[in-house]
Structure 1
């Protein structure tokens, strides 16, 4: 669960999007044809518990190294061949052997690999340069990605292919905050709390302009909601200001503009919010 402490006097707290407490994790590897790609899924976690106990026991026996970038302490090497997912092998994070697919799943073995017929669900895999990164699990995207739905180890329906891209069309965060706060103040919306901020979830496009607002609310000094009704004039004024003057970097990911979330301080001590710079 995401926890955010709101302090209007601390700029950084308002300038961060929501972040989970987890850490970015090393991807699995997926071989497709002659290409080895990053696999942003963990099919092994859906295996029978007895298999997972064997894997955990072996990892402890060989004192497999782990880090915050790979809590599971292993990397699965997979292959997608003719619509079927195979486990080739399991390695340590340093590339040392742990199990072949056949050793871990003897009943599903063909040669040294094993059919991943225990796995049903979605897999996402990709190649190319990073486009988007969030320091949390597999919340990142590469230039080229594919998403497939599997049922008992077989691709259930057509694989979707995506070309992802980042557009650096925004301005500095503090500039966005100052713009929105000033624009909100200029609307003369009447009486509002002395300490007020806008929480907004939105998407921007390649021009940096806001193209979609998914949810929004006004918050007090301690983060409690002041206004959440979208029809409220105060919230509508804050969103008009936000749309009209803010400009953001944007990500085209998975065939859509990627959602972003920010806290924007609007008022402090009864006046338009301004960055308080410390004297040298």
Structure 2
């Protein structure tokens, strides 16, 4: 299950749904159409990929591998057709002959070293994650020694995005305005009780479940779980056509400040 940790930034009121910078995908050309490729076949040749990084000598947080590979599927075979630096200013290119010698023919190299999956995204972008962004459709090509052995397309359009996940202030407002403050112990002005919970969505995108991952005592734990279960919706993510379990970890902060700011709205 994918964890999105909100601990520190939630305390200071800043949203942060991913700890990694989204990675620039490779490109795959099929019958003249170009698709985003979230597989990186050159990384199956560690010495070659290191050599490319050395030559380009440019690493970016959005492109740790240091290059963008251009690939082509032709006659059920995979070919490498180009390598471009991740520098968005220079866009340096590398001759395939420099890297592969006489294996480079007619400006391309047969990728007979690659066995695995080619994961292509197509359709509209639904959700933006680090290296696992969700698009309307995913097409997965199975390859063995550079030859296509199978193809399957998946429909991810059942993915829904809840504003309570993407808009932190909406989530805060809902939680703290629905806490039954009058049933809880009165806290000193400088005191905060923290209950760390995991919010767990479901396939329908309806009200989530919650589980305590760091307790503050039964009174506080039970109220945190009760309120989160009242959320009218939570995001439902689909990958490869199936529900993709996804959890958010976050603190529910019981404090006088939150009680004064939000509490009067519910009672």
- Fold in common (TM above 0.5): yes
Following TM superposition, by how much is the alpha carbon of 1:233 offset from its aligned partner in structure 2, in angstroms?
8.3
Following TM superposition, by how much is the alpha carbon of 1:28 offset from its aligned partner in structure 2, in angstroms?
0.8
Matched, 1:176 2:174: no
Alignment of 1:1-280 (within 5 A): 6=8, 10-12=12-14, 15-17=15-17, 19-20=18-19, 22-49=20-47, 51-60=48-57, 67-93=60-86, 94-100=90-96, 104-106=99-101, 109=104, 111-134=106-129, 136=130, 138-164=131-157, 167=160, 169-171=162-164, 172-185=167-180, 195-203=193-201, 208-210=205-207, 213=209, 216-219=211-214, 226=216, 235=221, 238-258=224-244, 259-269=246-256, 272=259, 274=261
Q: How many aligned positions are there?
A: 252
Are residues 48 and 186 of structure 1, via their aligned partners in 2, closer, same or farther at CA, if it must alter by over 3 Å?
Answer: closer
Do the aligned partners of 2:224 and 2:252 also contact (CA within 8 Å) in 1?
Answer: no
Following TM superposition, by how much is the alpha carbon of 1:104 offset from its aligned partner in structure 2, in angstroms?
3.1
Do the aligned partners of 1:128 and 1:142 also contact (CA within 8 Å) in 2?
Answer: yes
Q: Distance in 2 between matches of 1:131 and 1:107?
A: 42
Do the aligned partners of 1:146 and 1:161 also contact (CA within 8 Å) in 2?
Answer: yes
Any idea what SS the aligned residue of 1:245 has? coil
Are residues 87 and 144 of structure 1, via their aligned partners in 2, closer, same or farther at CA, if it must alter by over 3 Å?
Answer: same
Are residues 275 and 46 of structure 1, via their aligned partners in 2, closer, same or farther at CA, if it must alter by over 3 Å?
Answer: farther
Do the aligned partners of 2:77 and 2:147 also contact (CA within 8 Å) in 1?
Answer: yes
Deviations 1:136-184 (A, max 9, x none): 3x23233332233433333454424334465455354323333334445
Following TM superposition, by how much is the alpha carbon of 1:197 offset from its aligned partner in structure 2, in angstroms?
3.0
Are residues 120 and 188 of structure 1, via their aligned partners in 2, closer, same or farther at CA, if it must alter by over 3 Å?
Answer: farther
* Structure 2: stretches of 5+ with no match in the other structure: none
- TM-score, length-scaled by structure 2: 0.71
Are residues 95 and 179 of structure 1, via their aligned partners in 2, closer, same or farther at CA, if it must alter by over 3 Å?
Answer: closer
Q: Distance in 2 between matches of 1:274 and 1:268?
A: 10
Deviations 1:117-154 (A, max 9, x none): 222333321133322113x3x23233332233433333
Q: Distance in 1 between matches of 2:186 and 2:75?
A: 65
Any idea what SS the aligned residue of 2:120 has? strand
| Counterpart residue number, 1:222 | none
Are residues 273 and 248 of structure 1, via their aligned partners in 2, closer, same or farther at CA, if it must alter by over 3 Å?
Answer: farther
Deviations 1:86-105 (A, max 9, x none): 211212345543123x6533
Do the aligned partners of 1:145 and 1:162 also contact (CA within 8 Å) in 2?
Answer: yes
Any idea what SS the aligned residue of 2:170 has? helix
Do the aligned partners of 1:149 and 1:157 also contact (CA within 8 Å) in 2?
Answer: yes
Following TM superposition, by how much is the alpha carbon of 1:273 offset from its aligned partner in structure 2, in angstroms?
7.9
Q: Distance in 2 between matches of 1:5 and 1:80?
A: 44
- TM-score, length-scaled by structure 1: 0.68
CA RMSD of aligned residues (A): 4.0
Are residues 184 and 107 of structure 1, via their aligned partners in 2, closer, same or farther at CA, if it must alter by over 3 Å?
Answer: farther
